[in-house]
Structure 1
Amino acid sequence: MVVRVVDPAGRGFLLLDAHPAGCFAVVEQMRAEAVTGADMKANERANGQANGRVDGPVALVIGSSAGYGLAATIAGLARHGIRGVGVGFERPAARRSATAGWYRTIATATMVAETGGDFTFVNGDAFTGATKDAVLGLLEEQFGGLDVLIYSVAAPRRTDPGTGEVHQSVIKPIGAAHTIRNLEFDSDGRPGLLQVTAEPASASETTATVRVMGGDDWALWIDALAGRGLVNQGFRTVALSYIGSSLTDAVYRDGTIGAAKAHVDATAAALTTRLAPWAGRAFTSVNGAAVTQASMAIPGLALYLALVRAELGDRMRTPVQQSVHLWEQLTGDRPFDLDEQGRIRLDRWELDPDVQAAVVRRWKAATPETIGEVADLEWFRTRFRALYGFDVPGVDYSVPVEVDLPWPAG
């Protein structure tokens, strides 16, 4: 046993430890929100919406331990009784605690066990053939086929399984350097604004980012499923994506990550053709902005999120709320909300022109003196720290906790 007090030590938007009890509490909050926090008309529907259902569609969630992948997993389990497999890539406790995703997966597995569900969690690099083989073996043995695949992977690097070449992703503009402001907190928690200049990506860096964050691996998963005869009739697959505001375009949608997202969009169209024999469809789902461990790496997004929250308050839709609507569309309980490019849109609340105009005004008004007035700093700081299990109501952080916890058994 390794029992100790866990403190939120770290630098910038990276904390060195995660708090197990806090991570467990976060998952419980998300489960409760999935059950009760969506629109009430959806709650009244009888078609598979009742809490406790455990005979829903067979699903594979790749990236189930963090961010939108975690929200999609919890929403699917809590509202649709999904069965299947979740894949995460997390680190166990050693000198430091385990990663937050390790503890969140344990908590999610506990939720599954308490409801009598049938959902297994695999810890492994989703890019590797070994992980694909292990996951497909579980699906074949336990379920015989797959109804839904959700792909939610953000990674710094990927080894190409065909060539063995290691590709590194970067978050950079394309064509010219770009300077953007971002929110920061000092060691005492005082907020400030930081000017960040991102140099333009080289052609090779852009290509490498597409190889990591584009649709290549998503397509390999679909090919592997089809090759093993595991694609069920009516199969649906969705890769979770983001567009975002014009305020962050230069370093996001018009930058290297945007090039990768465009590749994901093109991959969705190609996969729909590939899935025609099963009457299957592939989509990109454009989610709204959220405080996640992946989004904190995007220059300017922390400031933008705090401004959006100040403008919208509780009208800002959480990852769980968006995931509830995603599952309703994937299961046919709600019509698909598609844009002209065929993408599922879960971000209309964020990109509403009036909302964006108001956020732009706040962005222009933000200075070191006014930041506390135009941005919701307390909300942002609390949400960021909750990514690691800190600042969660009801958790006593002065009490020593066991940090060396095992990955849930299959």
Structure 2
Amino acid sequence: MIIQPKIRGFICTNAHPEGCARQVGEQIRYIKEQPKLNGPKRVLVIGASTGFGLASRIAAAFGFGADTLGVFFERPAEKDRTASAGWYNTAALEAAARAEGLVAESINGNAFSDEIKQETIALIKEKLGQVDLVVYSLASPRRTHPKTGEAFTSVIKPIGGDYENKTVNFMTGAVSTVSVAPATEDEIRQTIAVMGGEDWQFWIEDLLEAGVLAEGAKTVAYSYIGPQITYPIYREGTIGRSKDDLEAKAHQLNDLLRGKISGSAFVSVNKALVTQSSSAIPIVPLYISLLFKVMKEKGLHEGTIEQMYRLYADRLYATDTPVDETGRIRIDDWEMREDVQSEVAALWEKVDADNLGELADLEGYRNDFLHLFGFGVPDLDYAVEVEPNVPLTRS
């Protein structure tokens, strides 16, 4: 099959197996070039197939030399349809890890369900015994509650009033104004149910009860704060309410783990990067394009793999994990530097359709987006036929 990108709105509906494998290989190469890390040897990553979750698993496997178990919900190839990018990413990661003698197992299914939690526990007992680190990196627009059966759908909306600001179509470069109506109370409730901390809490409680968390085990979930520009649609909107809930759950889980196994729980606030999730948020692609321009010029730019290495090396497994006044790990520190944010804010006021190419790194954003799905990889001939059916197998 010859595979070219099929883009619809802010998503790509297909993926390239060789392109995804090369992207995974680049992340592995980066980690191997860094100083070896001292840390966990048995790691569970929930939401392990793309973005920060994928980078977390790669950094653990090839930085710590850890055996890993990944949980995700991805689509295999069928007939004339490719597999999803996360499927191909995982196949490449597992092959590379197993080639180095590491355990690399995966479970593909609805991570919100009790069934997948129990399947994961059984596989941990079989392959790992216990885990030392649990990374929670799920991103989904919907969730069905495992106890009540209620179905929730998240929304990306402001709270308390309409929100209007600039946005960009990152594929065409068209700059326009977007207006978003405020969320209802029920939309806020449902968004918290999908994107808040309840499922993370369920996971940790089930793992703890099953006895598969090792003494001193850590868990970390990912969040974002961002600049004042994005506050109305992000931190002060429905997503922000969800992140508030996630951070509250971190304190509860920290107390629980500390009391039971001398463990700990953290929320890591990460940098704004191009992910499938961030591409769906109004104004964020424009903000990220301006941010990339500034941070690259200052030599501060990082991708997901650089962020995860720094999280592990300088924060989570430092002698004393540095946190902010509310207990959060901050690896958005370079993004939120005063000089960076003042320059981005100045560019935001100036940017329009005429000067977008000069003021923003839209090409960098677009390339990163295509790379998520295995496209735009240098020296890869996309006119050559490839086999879309790539298996995921148990070792």
> Do Structure 1 and Structure 2 share a fold, with TM-score over 0.5?
yes
Partner of 1:217: 199
How many Å separate the matches in 2 of 1:243 and 1:233? Answer: 31
1:352 positional shift: 0.8
How many Å separate the matches in 2 of 1:190 and 1:283? Answer: 39
Work out whether 1:31 is the aligned partner of 2:28: yes
SS of the aligned residue for 2:76 comes to coil
How many Å separate the matches in 2 of 1:118 and 1:288? Answer: 30
Work out whether 1:93 is the aligned partner of 2:93: no
More displaced stretch, 332-341 vs 252-261? 332-341
1:190 positional shift: 4.0
Q: How does 1:117-266 map to 2 (within 5 A)?
A: 117-185=102-170, 190-266=172-248
* Cα deviation digits, residues 11-40 of structure 1 (max 9, x gap): 33212211111101110111112222x5xx
SS of the aligned residue for 2:382 comes to coil
Match of 1:284 among 267, 273, 279: 267
SS of the aligned residue for 2:77 comes to coil
1:312 positional shift: 1.3
Q: Which amino acid in 1 is paired with 2:24?
A: V
How many Å separate the matches in 1 of 2:233 and 2:393? Answer: 38
Work out whether 1:345 is the aligned partner of 2:304: no
Partner of 1:312: 295
Q: Which amino acid in 1 is paired with 2:262?
A: A
1:333 positional shift: 4.1
Match of 2:348 among 354, 357, 363: 363
Work out whether 1:77 is the aligned partner of 2:61: yes
Match of 2:286 among 274, 299, 303: 303
Work out whether 1:104 is the aligned partner of 2:86: no
Native 8 Å contact 1:16 1:96 kept in 2 = no
More displaced stretch, 163-172 vs 174-183? 174-183
Native 8 Å contact 1:172 1:201 kept in 2 = yes
Distance 1:190-1:263 versus aligned 2 partners, 3 A rule: closer
Native 8 Å contact 1:236 1:330 kept in 2 = no
1:143 positional shift: 2.2
Consecutive unaligned residues in structure 1, runs of 5 or more: 50-55
Give percent identity, aligned residues only. Answer: 39
Consecutive unaligned residues in structure 2, runs of 5 or more: none
Match of 2:48 among 49, 57, 64: 64
Native 8 Å contact 2:113 2:146 kept in 1 = yes
1:329 positional shift: 5.0
How many Å separate the matches in 1 of 2:46 and 2:19? Answer: 23
SS of the aligned residue for 1:266 comes to helix
Native 8 Å contact 1:67 1:294 kept in 2 = no
How many Å separate the matches in 1 of 2:338 and 2:371? Answer: 30
Q: Which amino acid in 2 is paired with 1:376?
A: D
SS of the aligned residue for 1:284 comes to strand
Partner of 2:388: 403
Work out whether 1:9 is the aligned partner of 2:6: yes
Q: Which amino acid in 2 is paired with 1:127?
A: F
Q: Which amino acid in 1 is paired with 2:227?
A: S
* Cα deviation digits, residues 77-134 of structure 1 (max 9, x gap): 1110111311111011124211111100101111111111012111111101111011
How many Å separate the matches in 1 of 2:166 and 2:85? Answer: 28
How many Å separate the matches in 1 of 2:380 and 2:319? Answer: 37
More displaced stretch, 23-32 vs 5-14? 5-14
1:331 positional shift: 6.1
Work out whether 1:327 is the aligned partner of 2:309: no
* Cα deviation digits, residues 136-175 of structure 1 (max 9, x gap): 0011122222211000011111111111100111111111
1:330 positional shift: 6.5
1:191 positional shift: 1.5
How many Å separate the matches in 2 of 1:365 and 1:231? Answer: 51
Native 8 Å contact 2:38 2:317 kept in 1 = no
* Cα deviation digits, residues 297-326 of structure 1 (max 9, x gap): 111111111101111114112211110122
SS of the aligned residue for 1:25 comes to helix
SS of the aligned residue for 1:194 comes to strand
How many Å separate the matches in 2 of 1:397 and 1:334? Answer: 46
Q: Which amino acid in 1 is paired with 2:329?
A: I
SS of the aligned residue for 1:137 comes to helix
Partner of 1:52: none
TM-score, normalised with respect to structure 2: 0.96
How many Å separate the matches in 2 of 1:227 and 1:89? Answer: 24
